[in-house]
Amino acid sequence: MKYNSTRGMKEIKKSTEAIIQGIAKDKGLFVPASLPKLDQPIDALKEMTYQEIAYHTMKQFLVDFTEEELKDAIEKAYDSKFEREEIVPIEKVENVNILELYHGKTAAFKDMALSILPHLLTKSLKKEGEGKKIVILTATSGDTGKAALEGFAGVDNIDIIVFYPNSGVSQIQEQQMVTQPEDNTHVVAIKGNFDDAQSSVKVMFNDQAFGKKMAENGYMFSSANSINIGRLVPQVAYYVYAYAKMIKSGEVKADEKINVVVPTGNFGNILAAYYAAQMGVPVNKFICASNKNKVLTDFINTGIYDIQRDFHVTNSPSMDILISSNLERLLYHISDQKTEVIKELMEKLETEKKYELPQYMKDNLKDFVGGYADEEQTLKTIERVYDETGYLMDTHTAVAYKVYEDYKAETQDETKTIIASTASPYKFTSSAIDALGIDAKGNEFELLLKLNEETKVRIPTGLKDLDQKEVKHTTVIEKDDIKNEIERILF
Protein backbone atom coordinates (compact mmCIF):
# COMPACT_ATOMS: atom_id res chain seq x y z
CA MET A 1 0.00 0.00 0.00
CA LYS A 2 1.26 3.44 -0.94
CA TYR A 3 0.74 6.88 0.52
CA ASN A 4 -0.35 9.97 -1.41
CA SER A 5 -0.60 13.66 -0.58
CA THR A 6 -4.07 15.00 0.28
CA ARG A 7 -3.29 17.89 -2.08
CA GLY A 8 -2.59 15.77 -5.10
CA MET A 9 1.06 16.25 -5.94
CA LYS A 10 2.20 13.01 -7.50
CA GLU A 11 4.41 11.96 -4.68
CA ILE A 12 3.74 8.30 -4.12
CA LYS A 13 5.55 7.03 -1.04
CA LYS A 14 6.09 3.87 0.89
CA SER A 15 4.96 4.01 4.53
CA THR A 16 8.61 4.13 5.62
CA GLU A 17 9.27 7.14 3.38
CA ALA A 18 6.12 8.91 4.53
CA ILE A 19 7.16 8.43 8.17
CA ILE A 20 10.63 9.85 7.52
CA GLN A 21 9.38 12.83 5.55
CA GLY A 22 6.45 13.70 7.82
CA ILE A 23 4.62 16.07 5.49
CA ALA A 24 4.25 16.06 1.69
CA LYS A 25 6.15 18.56 -0.47
CA ASP A 26 2.96 20.33 -1.54
CA LYS A 27 2.13 20.90 2.19
CA GLY A 28 -0.50 18.17 2.03
CA LEU A 29 -0.62 15.25 4.47
CA PHE A 30 0.19 11.67 3.58
CA VAL A 31 -2.83 9.40 3.38
CA PRO A 32 -3.09 5.71 2.53
CA ALA A 33 -4.18 5.22 -1.08
CA SER A 34 -7.08 3.18 0.26
CA LEU A 35 -8.15 2.54 3.83
CA PRO A 36 -7.42 -1.06 4.76
CA LYS A 37 -9.69 -3.57 6.48
CA LEU A 38 -8.75 -5.87 9.33
CA ASP A 39 -7.74 -9.24 7.94
CA GLN A 40 -10.07 -11.08 10.29
CA PRO A 41 -13.37 -10.41 12.09
CA ILE A 42 -12.91 -8.31 15.25
CA ASP A 43 -14.60 -11.05 17.18
CA ALA A 44 -11.50 -13.16 16.52
CA LEU A 45 -9.30 -10.60 18.28
CA LYS A 46 -11.12 -10.54 21.58
CA GLU A 47 -8.74 -12.81 23.50
CA MET A 48 -5.60 -11.02 22.27
CA THR A 49 -3.34 -8.70 24.25
CA TYR A 50 -2.98 -5.03 23.43
CA GLN A 51 0.31 -5.72 21.69
CA GLU A 52 -1.19 -8.44 19.51
CA ILE A 53 -4.13 -6.29 18.48
CA ALA A 54 -1.77 -3.39 17.77
CA TYR A 55 0.15 -5.68 15.44
CA HIS A 56 -2.95 -6.87 13.59
CA THR A 57 -4.10 -3.29 13.14
CA MET A 58 -0.83 -1.60 12.24
CA LYS A 59 0.41 -4.19 9.78
CA GLN A 60 -2.50 -3.31 7.48
CA PHE A 61 -1.13 0.23 7.15
CA LEU A 62 2.62 -0.26 7.55
CA VAL A 63 3.12 -2.85 4.85
CA ASP A 64 6.77 -1.96 4.26
CA PHE A 65 7.85 -3.28 7.66
CA THR A 66 8.54 -6.95 8.19
CA GLU A 67 6.56 -8.83 10.82
CA GLU A 68 9.66 -8.97 12.97
CA GLU A 69 10.34 -5.23 12.72
CA LEU A 70 6.80 -4.26 13.55
CA LYS A 71 6.50 -6.69 16.45
CA ASP A 72 9.82 -5.49 17.82
CA ALA A 73 8.66 -1.85 17.71
CA ILE A 74 5.39 -2.78 19.42
CA GLU A 75 7.09 -4.81 22.18
CA LYS A 76 9.52 -1.97 22.89
CA ALA A 77 6.81 0.69 22.93
CA TYR A 78 4.04 -0.96 24.93
CA ASP A 79 5.98 -2.44 27.82
CA SER A 80 6.25 -1.71 31.53
CA LYS A 81 6.57 2.03 30.79
CA PHE A 82 2.80 1.78 30.91
CA GLU A 83 1.50 1.62 34.43
CA ARG A 84 -1.32 -0.76 33.59
CA GLU A 85 -0.79 -4.18 32.15
CA GLU A 86 -3.77 -3.85 29.80
CA ILE A 87 -2.05 -0.67 28.45
CA VAL A 88 -5.47 0.98 27.95
CA PRO A 89 -7.91 -0.10 30.68
CA ILE A 90 -11.64 0.49 30.19
CA GLU A 91 -13.58 1.83 33.17
CA LYS A 92 -17.36 1.74 33.29
CA VAL A 93 -18.76 4.96 34.74
CA GLU A 94 -22.49 5.70 34.72
CA ASN A 95 -22.98 3.23 31.89
CA VAL A 96 -20.31 4.76 29.64
CA ASN A 97 -17.04 3.05 28.78
CA ILE A 98 -14.11 5.29 29.57
CA LEU A 99 -11.08 4.25 27.57
CA GLU A 100 -8.12 5.39 29.66
CA LEU A 101 -5.36 6.27 27.22
CA TYR A 102 -3.11 8.04 29.70
CA HIS A 103 -1.19 5.37 31.58
CA GLY A 104 2.07 5.91 29.70
CA LYS A 105 5.13 7.78 30.87
CA THR A 106 3.87 11.33 30.47
CA ALA A 107 0.32 10.75 31.70
CA ALA A 108 -1.43 11.84 28.49
CA PHE A 109 -2.69 9.88 25.50
CA LYS A 110 0.13 11.18 23.30
CA ASP A 111 2.22 8.34 24.75
CA MET A 112 0.11 5.86 22.81
CA ALA A 113 1.70 7.04 19.57
CA LEU A 114 4.91 8.68 20.69
CA SER A 115 6.29 5.70 22.51
CA ILE A 116 6.30 3.80 19.21
CA LEU A 117 7.05 6.52 16.63
CA PRO A 118 10.80 6.67 17.42
CA HIS A 119 11.07 2.92 16.79
CA LEU A 120 9.14 3.19 13.53
CA LEU A 121 11.28 6.12 12.46
CA THR A 122 14.66 4.57 13.25
CA LYS A 123 13.64 1.35 11.49
CA SER A 124 12.42 3.36 8.49
CA LEU A 125 15.72 5.25 8.29
CA LYS A 126 17.66 2.02 8.33
CA LYS A 127 15.48 0.41 5.67
CA GLU A 128 15.70 3.42 3.38
CA GLY A 129 19.47 3.69 3.87
CA GLU A 130 19.02 7.30 4.94
CA GLY A 131 22.31 8.51 6.39
CA LYS A 132 21.31 12.00 7.49
CA LYS A 133 20.75 13.11 11.06
CA ILE A 134 17.09 13.68 11.71
CA VAL A 135 15.80 16.80 13.41
CA ILE A 136 12.35 16.29 14.87
CA LEU A 137 10.56 19.61 14.86
CA THR A 138 7.48 19.70 17.02
CA ALA A 139 4.89 22.26 18.02
CA THR A 140 2.98 21.35 21.15
CA SER A 141 -0.06 22.50 23.04
CA GLY A 142 1.48 20.77 26.05
CA ASP A 143 1.26 17.01 25.85
CA THR A 144 2.87 16.12 22.53
CA GLY A 145 6.05 17.93 23.53
CA LYS A 146 6.77 15.88 26.60
CA ALA A 147 5.69 12.61 25.04
CA ALA A 148 7.95 13.27 22.03
CA LEU A 149 10.86 14.27 24.26
CA GLU A 150 10.52 11.04 26.22
CA GLY A 151 10.20 9.01 23.03
CA PHE A 152 13.23 10.48 21.28
CA ALA A 153 15.48 11.17 24.29
CA GLY A 154 18.91 9.66 23.76
CA VAL A 155 18.02 8.14 20.36
CA ASP A 156 21.15 8.10 18.15
CA ASN A 157 21.27 10.43 15.16
CA ILE A 158 18.11 12.27 16.15
CA ASP A 159 17.76 15.73 17.65
CA ILE A 160 14.38 16.90 18.85
CA ILE A 161 13.30 20.54 19.13
CA VAL A 162 9.99 21.30 20.83
CA PHE A 163 8.23 24.67 20.61
CA TYR A 164 5.44 25.43 23.08
CA PRO A 165 3.29 28.54 23.66
CA ASN A 166 4.82 30.21 26.70
CA SER A 167 1.58 30.98 28.47
CA GLY A 168 -0.53 28.25 26.94
CA VAL A 169 0.45 25.14 28.88
CA SER A 170 -0.07 24.09 32.50
CA GLN A 171 2.72 24.48 35.05
CA ILE A 172 3.02 20.71 35.27
CA GLN A 173 3.22 20.34 31.49
CA GLU A 174 5.90 23.02 31.30
CA GLN A 175 7.96 21.54 34.12
CA GLN A 176 7.76 18.12 32.49
CA MET A 177 9.29 19.53 29.32
CA VAL A 178 11.91 21.95 30.65
CA THR A 179 13.44 19.29 32.91
CA GLN A 180 14.16 16.85 30.07
CA PRO A 181 17.88 16.15 30.61
CA GLU A 182 19.25 14.47 27.47
CA ASP A 183 21.62 16.42 25.21
CA ASN A 184 19.67 15.67 22.03
CA THR A 185 16.55 17.37 23.45
CA HIS A 186 15.80 21.08 23.00
CA VAL A 187 12.78 22.93 24.38
CA VAL A 188 11.85 26.49 23.43
CA ALA A 189 8.96 28.67 24.60
CA ILE A 190 7.50 30.99 21.99
CA LYS A 191 5.53 34.15 22.61
CA GLY A 192 2.31 33.13 20.89
CA ASN A 193 -0.36 30.46 20.99
CA PHE A 194 -0.36 26.89 19.70
CA ASP A 195 -1.56 27.85 16.23
CA ASP A 196 1.38 30.29 15.95
CA ALA A 197 3.78 27.53 16.97
CA GLN A 198 2.23 25.02 14.59
CA SER A 199 2.15 27.41 11.62
CA SER A 200 5.78 28.48 12.15
CA VAL A 201 6.88 24.87 12.30
CA LYS A 202 4.95 24.06 9.10
CA VAL A 203 6.68 26.99 7.38
CA MET A 204 10.06 25.53 8.36
CA PHE A 205 9.15 22.19 6.78
CA ASN A 206 8.42 23.95 3.51
CA ASP A 207 11.36 26.38 3.50
CA GLN A 208 13.35 25.01 0.55
CA ALA A 209 16.41 27.18 1.08
CA PHE A 210 16.64 26.21 4.71
CA GLY A 211 16.08 22.58 3.80
CA LYS A 212 19.07 22.82 1.47
CA LYS A 213 21.24 24.32 4.17
CA MET A 214 20.17 21.54 6.50
CA ALA A 215 21.04 18.93 3.89
CA GLU A 216 24.50 20.47 3.39
CA ASN A 217 25.07 20.04 7.09
CA GLY A 218 23.87 16.43 7.03
CA TYR A 219 20.46 17.09 8.58
CA MET A 220 16.85 16.59 7.56
CA PHE A 221 13.59 17.49 9.28
CA SER A 222 10.89 15.11 10.35
CA SER A 223 7.79 15.59 12.44
CA ALA A 224 6.44 14.07 15.62
CA ASN A 225 3.16 15.93 15.30
CA SER A 226 0.04 14.03 14.39
CA ILE A 227 0.51 15.12 10.79
CA ASN A 228 3.00 12.22 10.68
CA ILE A 229 1.24 9.07 9.55
CA GLY A 230 3.51 7.14 11.91
CA ARG A 231 1.68 8.75 14.77
CA LEU A 232 -1.80 8.27 13.49
CA VAL A 233 -1.60 4.57 12.67
CA PRO A 234 -0.71 3.40 16.22
CA GLN A 235 -3.76 5.28 17.50
CA VAL A 236 -6.14 3.24 15.36
CA ALA A 237 -5.18 0.18 17.40
CA TYR A 238 -6.75 1.27 20.68
CA TYR A 239 -10.19 1.60 19.12
CA VAL A 240 -9.93 -1.89 17.66
CA TYR A 241 -8.72 -3.11 21.05
CA ALA A 242 -11.53 -1.36 22.93
CA TYR A 243 -14.20 -2.84 20.69
CA ALA A 244 -12.70 -6.34 20.91
CA LYS A 245 -12.67 -6.10 24.71
CA MET A 246 -16.25 -4.85 24.76
CA ILE A 247 -17.23 -7.98 22.86
CA LYS A 248 -15.27 -10.07 25.31
CA SER A 249 -16.90 -8.54 28.36
CA GLY A 250 -20.37 -8.90 26.85
CA GLU A 251 -20.83 -5.12 26.68
CA VAL A 252 -21.62 -5.41 22.96
CA LYS A 253 -22.52 -8.24 20.62
CA ALA A 254 -20.21 -8.69 17.64
CA ASP A 255 -21.29 -6.15 14.96
CA GLU A 256 -23.30 -4.01 17.40
CA LYS A 257 -22.60 -0.34 16.68
CA ILE A 258 -21.05 1.98 19.25
CA ASN A 259 -20.62 5.73 19.62
CA VAL A 260 -17.16 7.15 20.11
CA VAL A 261 -16.68 10.46 21.91
CA VAL A 262 -13.33 12.20 21.56
CA PRO A 263 -12.07 15.43 23.17
CA THR A 264 -10.59 16.97 20.08
CA GLY A 265 -7.81 19.40 19.25
CA ASN A 266 -5.77 18.64 16.15
CA PHE A 267 -8.30 15.97 15.04
CA GLY A 268 -5.78 13.12 15.22
CA ASN A 269 -7.49 11.01 17.84
CA ILE A 270 -10.95 11.17 16.33
CA LEU A 271 -9.53 10.54 12.85
CA ALA A 272 -7.96 7.37 14.25
CA ALA A 273 -11.46 6.34 15.34
CA TYR A 274 -12.70 6.99 11.80
CA TYR A 275 -9.88 4.84 10.39
CA ALA A 276 -10.77 2.10 12.88
CA ALA A 277 -14.35 2.24 11.62
CA GLN A 278 -13.19 1.88 8.03
CA MET A 279 -11.21 -1.17 9.15
CA GLY A 280 -14.29 -2.82 10.58
CA VAL A 281 -15.15 -1.39 14.01
CA PRO A 282 -18.90 -0.69 13.79
CA VAL A 283 -19.39 2.98 14.71
CA ASN A 284 -22.72 4.78 14.84
CA LYS A 285 -21.60 8.34 15.64
CA PHE A 286 -18.24 10.03 16.01
CA ILE A 287 -18.89 12.68 18.62
CA CYS A 288 -16.33 15.46 18.36
CA ALA A 289 -16.06 17.39 21.63
CA SER A 290 -14.51 20.86 21.78
CA ASN A 291 -13.98 23.48 24.45
CA LYS A 292 -14.78 27.16 23.98
CA ASN A 293 -12.52 27.14 20.89
CA LYS A 294 -15.39 25.46 19.08
CA VAL A 295 -14.37 25.88 15.48
CA LEU A 296 -14.97 22.15 14.91
CA THR A 297 -18.43 22.19 16.52
CA ASP A 298 -19.48 24.96 14.15
CA PHE A 299 -17.85 23.19 11.24
CA ILE A 300 -19.65 19.92 11.83
CA ASN A 301 -22.96 21.72 12.27
CA THR A 302 -22.68 24.04 9.25
CA GLY A 303 -19.97 22.75 6.91
CA ILE A 304 -18.22 26.10 7.28
CA TYR A 305 -14.72 26.20 8.77
CA ASP A 306 -14.05 29.72 9.97
CA ILE A 307 -11.03 30.68 12.06
CA GLN A 308 -11.87 34.39 12.20
CA ARG A 309 -12.71 34.36 15.87
CA ASP A 310 -11.09 34.99 19.24
CA PHE A 311 -8.69 32.41 20.56
CA HIS A 312 -9.41 31.36 24.14
CA VAL A 313 -6.92 29.97 26.64
CA THR A 314 -9.01 27.46 28.59
CA ASN A 315 -8.67 24.89 31.36
CA SER A 316 -8.41 22.16 28.67
CA PRO A 317 -5.33 23.68 26.98
CA SER A 318 -4.45 20.69 24.81
CA MET A 319 -7.62 21.46 22.85
CA ASP A 320 -6.97 25.19 22.48
CA ILE A 321 -6.59 25.00 18.73
CA LEU A 322 -8.28 26.73 15.83
CA ILE A 323 -6.53 25.01 12.94
CA SER A 324 -7.04 21.26 13.30
CA SER A 325 -4.49 19.81 10.89
CA ASN A 326 -5.79 16.29 10.61
CA LEU A 327 -9.20 17.45 9.48
CA GLU A 328 -7.55 17.73 6.06
CA ARG A 329 -7.26 13.95 5.98
CA LEU A 330 -10.94 13.47 6.77
CA LEU A 331 -11.87 15.96 4.05
CA TYR A 332 -9.77 13.99 1.61
CA HIS A 333 -11.66 10.79 2.42
CA ILE A 334 -15.15 12.32 2.41
CA SER A 335 -14.45 14.12 -0.86
CA ASP A 336 -13.89 10.71 -2.51
CA GLN A 337 -10.22 11.60 -2.70
CA LYS A 338 -10.69 14.69 -4.84
CA THR A 339 -7.33 16.25 -4.15
CA GLU A 340 -7.99 19.35 -6.25
CA VAL A 341 -10.94 20.15 -3.98
CA ILE A 342 -8.82 19.73 -0.85
CA LYS A 343 -6.07 21.91 -2.27
CA GLU A 344 -8.56 24.64 -3.00
CA LEU A 345 -10.19 24.46 0.44
CA MET A 346 -6.83 24.58 2.21
CA GLU A 347 -5.69 27.54 0.13
CA LYS A 348 -8.92 29.32 1.01
CA LEU A 349 -8.25 28.68 4.66
CA GLU A 350 -4.83 30.29 4.30
CA THR A 351 -5.92 33.32 2.33
CA GLU A 352 -9.54 33.94 3.41
CA LYS A 353 -9.36 32.29 6.85
CA LYS A 354 -12.46 30.25 6.05
CA TYR A 355 -13.98 27.78 3.65
CA GLU A 356 -17.32 26.09 3.07
CA LEU A 357 -17.72 22.48 2.00
CA PRO A 358 -19.61 21.65 -1.17
CA GLN A 359 -22.97 20.00 -0.42
CA TYR A 360 -21.91 16.42 -1.21
CA MET A 361 -19.10 16.68 1.36
CA LYS A 362 -21.45 18.11 3.98
CA ASP A 363 -23.64 15.08 3.38
CA ASN A 364 -20.68 12.79 3.91
CA LEU A 365 -20.11 14.31 7.37
CA LYS A 366 -23.39 12.87 8.62
CA ASP A 367 -21.81 10.34 11.01
CA PHE A 368 -20.07 13.16 12.89
CA VAL A 369 -21.69 15.06 15.75
CA GLY A 370 -20.13 18.26 17.10
CA GLY A 371 -20.58 19.74 20.56
CA TYR A 372 -18.71 21.84 23.07
CA ALA A 373 -18.47 22.59 26.77
CA ASP A 374 -17.25 25.81 28.37
CA GLU A 375 -14.88 25.99 31.33
CA GLU A 376 -17.55 26.15 33.99
CA GLN A 377 -19.47 23.20 32.55
CA THR A 378 -16.20 21.29 32.45
CA LEU A 379 -15.49 21.83 36.13
CA LYS A 380 -19.11 21.09 37.11
CA THR A 381 -18.94 17.80 35.23
CA ILE A 382 -15.75 16.77 37.03
CA GLU A 383 -17.40 17.58 40.35
CA ARG A 384 -20.72 15.89 39.68
CA VAL A 385 -19.22 12.67 38.34
CA TYR A 386 -16.72 12.53 41.21
CA ASP A 387 -19.37 13.17 43.83
CA GLU A 388 -21.75 10.60 42.41
CA THR A 389 -19.35 7.85 41.38
CA GLY A 390 -15.92 8.55 42.87
CA TYR A 391 -14.40 8.65 39.37
CA LEU A 392 -12.01 11.53 38.79
CA MET A 393 -11.56 12.91 35.26
CA ASP A 394 -9.21 15.49 33.84
CA THR A 395 -10.61 18.57 32.12
CA HIS A 396 -10.29 17.24 28.57
CA THR A 397 -12.13 14.04 29.36
CA ALA A 398 -14.75 16.10 31.19
CA VAL A 399 -15.37 18.19 28.08
CA ALA A 400 -16.10 14.96 26.21
CA TYR A 401 -18.25 13.67 29.05
CA LYS A 402 -20.38 16.80 29.09
CA VAL A 403 -20.77 16.88 25.31
CA TYR A 404 -21.89 13.25 25.45
CA GLU A 405 -24.43 13.98 28.22
CA ASP A 406 -25.89 16.78 26.11
CA TYR A 407 -25.99 14.57 23.03
CA LYS A 408 -27.75 11.80 24.89
CA ALA A 409 -30.29 14.13 26.48
CA GLU A 410 -31.09 15.58 23.08
CA THR A 411 -31.24 12.39 21.03
CA GLN A 412 -32.17 9.69 23.56
CA ASP A 413 -29.60 7.59 21.70
CA GLU A 414 -28.94 4.52 23.84
CA THR A 415 -26.10 3.17 21.69
CA LYS A 416 -23.21 1.82 23.81
CA THR A 417 -20.53 4.46 24.00
CA ILE A 418 -16.79 4.86 24.47
CA ILE A 419 -15.31 8.11 25.72
CA ALA A 420 -11.61 8.56 24.99
CA SER A 421 -9.97 9.73 28.21
CA THR A 422 -6.88 11.62 27.20
CA ALA A 423 -5.04 12.69 30.36
CA SER A 424 -4.55 11.95 34.02
CA PRO A 425 -6.42 14.42 36.24
CA TYR A 426 -3.05 15.19 37.86
CA LYS A 427 -1.81 16.74 34.66
CA PHE A 428 -4.27 19.57 35.22
CA THR A 429 -4.28 19.52 38.98
CA SER A 430 -5.37 23.06 39.75
CA SER A 431 -8.50 22.60 37.65
CA ALA A 432 -9.35 19.38 39.50
CA ILE A 433 -8.82 21.19 42.82
CA ASP A 434 -11.13 23.99 41.66
CA ALA A 435 -13.71 21.56 40.41
CA LEU A 436 -13.88 19.59 43.64
CA GLY A 437 -13.90 22.77 45.72
CA ILE A 438 -10.88 21.65 47.73
CA ASP A 439 -9.63 24.46 49.90
CA ALA A 440 -5.94 24.56 49.04
CA LYS A 441 -3.36 27.10 48.01
CA GLY A 442 0.07 26.76 46.50
CA ASN A 443 1.74 25.92 43.23
CA GLU A 444 0.61 23.01 41.08
CA PHE A 445 3.12 20.68 42.70
CA GLU A 446 1.75 21.32 46.17
CA LEU A 447 -1.78 21.03 44.87
CA LEU A 448 -0.92 17.67 43.35
CA LEU A 449 -0.18 16.24 46.78
CA LYS A 450 -3.31 17.83 48.15
CA LEU A 451 -5.47 16.32 45.42
CA ASN A 452 -3.97 12.93 46.19
CA GLU A 453 -4.68 13.34 49.90
CA GLU A 454 -8.32 14.17 49.19
CA THR A 455 -9.12 11.66 46.47
CA LYS A 456 -6.56 8.87 47.03
CA VAL A 457 -6.32 8.54 43.25
CA ARG A 458 -2.81 7.33 42.45
CA ILE A 459 -0.29 9.91 41.20
CA PRO A 460 1.33 8.80 37.92
CA THR A 461 5.01 8.03 38.48
CA GLY A 462 6.15 10.57 35.88
CA LEU A 463 4.48 13.43 37.73
CA LYS A 464 5.97 12.69 41.14
CA ASP A 465 8.73 14.98 42.45
CA LEU A 466 8.63 17.03 39.27
CA ASP A 467 9.41 20.25 41.09
CA GLN A 468 12.69 18.81 42.35
CA LYS A 469 14.02 18.09 38.89
CA GLU A 470 16.62 20.41 37.42
CA VAL A 471 15.41 22.91 34.81
CA LYS A 472 17.48 22.46 31.65
CA HIS A 473 15.68 24.65 29.11
CA THR A 474 14.92 28.35 29.60
CA THR A 475 14.85 29.91 26.10
CA VAL A 476 11.90 32.14 25.20
CA ILE A 477 11.66 33.57 21.67
CA GLU A 478 9.39 35.72 19.50
CA LYS A 479 7.15 33.66 17.26
CA ASP A 480 8.87 34.74 14.04
CA ASP A 481 12.29 33.86 15.39
CA ILE A 482 11.97 30.10 15.04
CA LYS A 483 14.37 29.81 12.12
CA ASN A 484 17.18 31.64 13.95
CA GLU A 485 16.65 29.51 17.00
CA ILE A 486 16.88 26.29 14.99
CA GLU A 487 20.12 27.53 13.44
CA ARG A 488 21.49 28.41 16.84
CA ILE A 489 20.72 24.95 18.14
CA LEU A 490 22.02 22.96 15.17
CA PHE A 491 24.89 24.87 13.55
Ligand X SMILES: *Cc1c(COP(=O)(O)O)cnc(C)c1O
If binding is defined by CB under 6 A, does position 267 make contact with ligand X? yes
CB of 145 to ligand X, least distance (A): 10
188 closest CA partner among 197, 313, 111, 315: 197
Residue from 143, 150, 405, 434 touching ligand X (CB under 6 A): that is 143
If binding is defined by CB under 6 A, does position 396 make contact with ligand X? yes
Residue 411's Cβ-side half-sphere holds a number of Cα atoms within 13 Å equal to 15
If binding is defined by CB under 6 A, does position 421 make contact with ligand X? no
Size of the site for ligand X (CB under 6 A): 17
Burial of 152 (0-12, 13-18, 19+ CB in 10 A): buried
If binding is defined by CB under 6 A, does position 174 make contact with ligand X? no
Measured CA to CA, the distance from residue 111 to residue 358 in angstroms comes to 36
Residue from 56, 59, 110, 285 touching ligand X (CB under 6 A): that is 110
CB of 425 to ligand X, least distance (A): 11
If binding is defined by CB under 6 A, does position 268 make contact with ligand X? yes
Measured CA to CA, the distance from residue 20 to residue 62 in angstroms comes to 13
Q: What's the Cα-to-Cα distance from 29 to each of 23, 117, 314, rounded to whole Å?
A: 5, 17, 28
Measured CA to CA, the distance from residue 371 to residue 359 in angstroms comes to 21
Q: What's the Cα-to-Cα distance from 130 to each of 63, 133, 183, 220, rounded to whole Å?
A: 19, 9, 22, 10
If binding is defined by CB under 6 A, does position 198 make contact with ligand X? no
Residue from 319, 334, 393, 486 touching ligand X (CB under 6 A): that is 319
Q: Looking at 1-9, 129-137, 259-267, 374-382, which segment touches ligand X (CB under 6 A)? A: 259-267
CB-based contact 357:59 (threshold 8 Å): no
CB of 261 to ligand X, least distance (A): 12
Measured CA to CA, the distance from residue 459 to residue 47 in angstroms comes to 30
Measured CA to CA, the distance from residue 331 to residue 362 in angstroms comes to 10
If binding is defined by CB under 6 A, does position 424 make contact with ligand X? no
CB of 210 to ligand X, least distance (A): 26
Binding mask 204-243 for ligand X (x = CB under 6 A): ----------------------x-----------------
CB of 222 to ligand X, least distance (A): 19
If binding is defined by CB under 6 A, does position 265 make contact with ligand X? yes
CB of 143 to ligand X, least distance (A): 3
If binding is defined by CB under 6 A, does position 264 make contact with ligand X? yes
178 closest CA partner among 444, 473, 427: 473
Strand order in the sheet with 219-223: 219-223, 133-139, 158-165, 185-191, 476-478
If binding is defined by CB under 6 A, does position 486 make contact with ligand X? no
**Can you give the binding site for ligand X, defined by CB under 6 A?**
108-110, 143, 226, 263-269, 318-319, 396, 422-423
